[in-house]
Amino acid sequence: MRHNGDRGTQRTGDQVPRFGHGSRVPGWDDAADLTKDPATVPDLATTEVPPELRAEIEAHMAKYPDHRSAAIPALAAVQRWHGWCSPAAIEQAAAVMRLTPGYLVSVASFYDMLETTPVGRHAVYVCTNISCSLCGADELLEAVERATDGDPDFNVRSFECLGACDIAPMASVDGVYIGPITLDEVPRLVEHIREGLPPLPAKQLRLRRSVDPGAATATPGGATPQGPTSYGGEMPGDAAGPPAAIENPPTQPDQT
């Protein structure tokens, strides 16, 4: 299982802060319990699963030829329902998917955004990878940790590159990319999150103007959140991009 939020050693001098296991990021260091009996598939007839949750998981399963391919969206669904992938949540997903809980735990413990321990409902992922780190990400992470210290509503952690290096140092707040974030903006960022407001709208990546004059732009007015993870909902100006090459049908060779 992963560590969540435990920063292990502290930064000293020019040393980079690391977890107890030596990495800058949470890792997997709990061995499997080999003394336990082999896992069995929970019986759906005797496992209580909220009907809406069951319907959502079954809808995901129906999208794939092999229903195990729905493991990640099913785990995301139980996480939304329960707040984390608790043993009861895993049991419910396993019963609906006709899999062992162990199968789903192996998936949940691999992916960073699936939580296998209880966490706060607001996910603040501060990128501490190289570009952000060079722009002060470690100080930013420490400032966010200080500003939210002891608040059980927050799940603050460092994260590997979130793919938005051009706005370093940046953070993903409930799925919304924000950056570059200066240290003096941290109290306002935390205040916005606490009050359910769009966090630092002027720094949200999705609200930035495109260099393409023909591209539609979103407006901060459309960013009013409906819940802790809805800052990233569909924007009025959103438009589908061009299809990727893989989405185009293959061209047939000319038979003439």
Helix, strand, coil shares, percent, the chain, to 5: 35, 10, 55
Instruction: Restricting to residues 187-216, name those near ligand FES by CB under 6 A.
Output: none
Binding mask 135-174 for ligand FES (x = CB under 6 A): --------------------------xxxxx--x-x----
Which residue, 180 or 228, has its beta carbon nearer to ligand FES? 180
Residue 25 in the binding site for ligand FES (CB under 6 A): no
CB 162 to ligand FES: min, Å: 4
Query: 221 is written with which tokens?
Result: 């007015």
Residue 237 phi/psi, 5° resolution?
-95, 5
Q: Which residues of 29-57 are buried (b: 16+ CB within 10 A; e: fewer)?
A: eeeeeeeeeeeeebeeeebebeeebbebb
CB 212 to ligand FES: min, Å: 22
Binding mask 96-135 for ligand FES (x = CB under 6 A): -------------------------------x-xxxx---
Which residue, 41 or 161, has its beta carbon nearer to ligand FES? 161
Q: Which amino acid is at 77?
A: A
The closest of 98, 96, 76, 79 to 87, measured between CA atoms, is 79
Q: Which residues bind ligand FES (CB under 6 A)?
A: 127, 129-132, 161-165, 168, 170
